[in-house]
Structure 1
Amino acid sequence: MTSLHSQATIGNESYPLPPNWVVETLRAGIAIPAHPLALTDQLKLDDRKQRGLSRYYHAAGAKGLAVGVHTTQFEIRQPKHALLQPVLELAQETIVDCDERQGRKTVLIAGICGCERQAIEEARLARELGYHLGMVSLSALSNLDDQALVEHCRAIAHEIPIFGFYMQTAVGGRKLSVDFWRSLALIPNLIGIKIAPFDRYKTLDVLQAVTESGRGDKIVLYTGNDDNIVLDLLTKYTFFYEGRMESLRIVGGLLGHWACWTKRAVELLDTCKKTWDQQTVASDLLTLAGQVTDCNAALFDAKNNFHGCIPGVHYVLQQQGLLANLHCLDPKVGLSLGQREEINRVRASYPHLIDDAFVQENIDTWLT
């Protein structure tokens, strides 16, 4: 099975391209939750809850899904768990079924990790399973220089169209230069970039590099800055390039934060997009930006350097009935002291950002 329908040939090199509808959907700006991992008490894949989560995201209006990424837990790749293929298959099958029932098309993105051999194997697997794009994590390549990193991404790009990923250092990412992003942007089937360094300066580095690559009109930009979601989506970024001012937009989000309260996330994105043709932004949206960041500080355990960022999302989903427990594959990972209370605080403080009622109305259907 494959979702790729054409090739871009540059010199003697060939690069697969996704279907046109995938690119058009991404350019329009969509919400892409980063899919969590549902486990039984025996740390086995909980098929029922895993399918239920995928159905929840689809029903909430997410037009994309990222699987096998940080929120899914990188440990799924360890031989003792061997969960990468089952998790990718289950999400793809569930979403395709939902799409067929509702006449929709959902963009599927698979996380790609590890050294070149592992990454290429994962890219081939994702392509064969029907994923449209591979999002490349560079966290395992801390000793490579910029050029080697670009060549690593290029090797993956020969297997599947790619999404760049600037991952924050607190959870395993590495610092990346403007030169790296400028060179990466020249890979013909780099379709988009998830900008997630949780750092204003590094975010601007990516935007500057894309502008200077001359491919600003070809590469879609998505926020992964869970600490700055609303402002990323409201801002028009401008850079001086070749004698004129060029403008860029971050058009959507690919976020762990959006793995819960997803219906509200979809609505939030739509609200932000409606401001793009306006000269000013209403002050209530700036207030909302702070509220969303407050929620994220609790979810992602910012006070403890993000130790509980995955179980924080699990806790919300467990409270809604979408997960059975808070288990992670790494036994050292769990809620931090006081994190549960912080999440309960933001749940009570910002009911307009919570989709509990929507979940309760539909959860029985999703879990059948």
Structure 2
Amino acid sequence: MLHSAVKDSLLAGAFIPAHPLALNEDRTLDEKSQRALTKYYIDAGVGGIAVGVHTTQFEIRDPQFGLFERVLELAMEEIKRANVPDSFIKIAGVCGPTEQAVQEATFIKETGYDLALLSMGGLADLSEEELLHRTKEVAKIIPVVGFYLQNAVGGRKLSYDFWLQLANIENVYAIKIAPFNRYQTLDVVRAVCHSERVNDIAIYTGNDDNIVIDLLTTYRIPVNGQIIEKQIVGGLLGHWSVWVKTAVHYFEQLKKHRSNEQIPVELLTLAVEMTDANAAFFDPQHDFKGSIAGINEVLTRQGLLQGNWCLMEHEKLSPNQADEITRVYEDYPHLHDDAFVKENLAKWKDA
């Protein structure tokens, strides 16, 4: 069962960063910086943290690295040390075929996480029916967040009927929509609205290319002669792992404005600015090859990481990506939180 305070926070809409991985130059785990990142997010006012997800690098599970358990334990230790409120949402990524997913779900539950973000990536050999069976098996162990992952980073196109059936699975409490595609995003919203559990499912954006618009939009879906209203209430985003203090501020502003009948036009400009910044971080020009290194580069410039290294040597900044990150830094000074990080970095890095 999902803790009532966590459920209420999840349904109301929370700011949840996808936690990166801190490495030394030799690609071993930098525990001090890993802990510092978690402290940074908590002090910046996030509503939860997602660890062991794409931004954390799926390879932490590979036997050659063996970092999955330790990375999740480090985040949980810092969460407990910070005495976060009961409403703080603790999410861990779960991957792989059913047997692996069940093992990971068991571990994260024992470690203290509230929900499993269940990736569908890398499972092209499984049918939609088999993916639903896998979801049900994980949901027997721990509450689940469904995950529509974009094709460019290992996801696949999934049908409206798949999402309708997934939304009807007991112990599924949210769906992260990250196909970077308007049509597929709408498929999920419609499916949830037509499901029997429409009021029990929180929809979160993972569309880092469309964050502000997703969070401002109210969907009105006709269902059996009635209009069902549904919002994308929060975000679980790799983009939200950087410039976090200011992003939390803007998220709170968006939550206030979306209940109004009139949306300030400057928020549409903000939407474009955030998308432009995301393009620098996520590297869509090169099919997102530099997305993880790009996030790490920003954190390195702020002093939170020692370098932008990834576990796999081929994961690195693309040509001109560093220049693009410099450009958005200069173009949108109101989006970064360098002053906040500088003020607190020594405290977060203190062992």
Q: Which runs of 5+ in 2 are unaligned?
A: none
Which secondary structure does the structure 1 equivalent of 2:257 belong to? coil
**2:4 corresponds to which letter in structure 1?**
N
CA apart distance, 1:105: 4.5
Distance in 2 separating the partners of 1:207 and 1:121: 30
Residue equivalent to 2:185? 203
* Structure 1 residue corresponding to 2:305, chosen from 286, 305, 323: 323
**Equivalent residues of 1:298, 1:339 under 8 A apart:** yes
Q: Give the drift of 1:363.
A: 0.6
Contact 1:261 1:356 in 2 (8 A): yes
Q: 2-side partners of 1:58 and 1:69: how far apart? A: 18
C-alpha offsets along residues 117-140 of structure 1, whole Å, 9 cap, x if unaligned? 111000000000000000101112
Does residue 285 in structure 1 map to residue 267 in structure 2?
Answer: yes
SS in 1 for 2:90: strand
* 1:304 to 2:286 alignment: yes
Q: How far 1:99 moved relative to its partner?
A: 2.0
The total of aligned residue pairs comes to 350
Q: 2:229 & 2:325 partners in 1: Cα distance? A: 37
Q: Which residue is equivalent to 1:225? A: 207
Q: Is the 1:35–1:65 contact (alpha carbons within 8 Å) kept by the matching residues of 2?
A: yes
Counterparts of 1:204 and 1:99 in 2: how far apart (Å)?
38
Partner residue, 1:188: 170
* Percentage of identical aligned residues: 49
Partner of 1:6: none
Q: 1:224 to 1:286 in 2, by over 3 A?
A: same
Query: Gapped runs of 5+ residues in structure 1?
Result: 1-16
1:264 equivalent among 246, 258, 271: 246
Specify the code of the residue in structure 1 equivalent to 2:160.
Answer: V
Counterpart residue number, 2:118? 136
Task: For residue 198 of structure 2, give the secondary structure of its aligned residue in structure 1.
Answer: coil
Match of 1:33 among 17, 22, 26: 17
Match of 2:82 in 1: 98
Provide the rounded CA distance (Å) in 1 between the counterparts of 2:169 and 2:338. Answer: 42
Q: Show the counterpart of 1:347.
A: 329
CA distance in structure 1 between the aligned counterparts of 2:309 and 2:184, rounded to whole angstroms: 33
> How far 1:43 moved relative to its partner?
1.2
Q: Hey, what does 2:146 align to over in structure 1?
A: 164
Normalised to the residue count of structure 1, the TM-score between the two structures is 0.94
- Cα distance in 1, alignment partners of residues 348 and 4 from structure 2: 30
Q: CA deviation at 1:264?
A: 1.3
Deviation at 1:277, TM superposition (A): 2.1
Residue 72, structure 1, aligned to residue 38, structure 2: no
* 1:82 counterpart residue number: 66
Matched residue type, 2:242? C
Q: Deviations over 1:61-100 (max 9, x none)?
A: 0010000000000000000100000000000111111126
Q: Please give the per-residue CA displacement for 1:212-240, whole angstroms capped at 9, x wherever unaligned.
A: 11322110111000000000000001111
Match of 1:51 in 2: 35
Q: 1:64–1:106: 8 Å Cα contact kept in structure 2?
A: yes
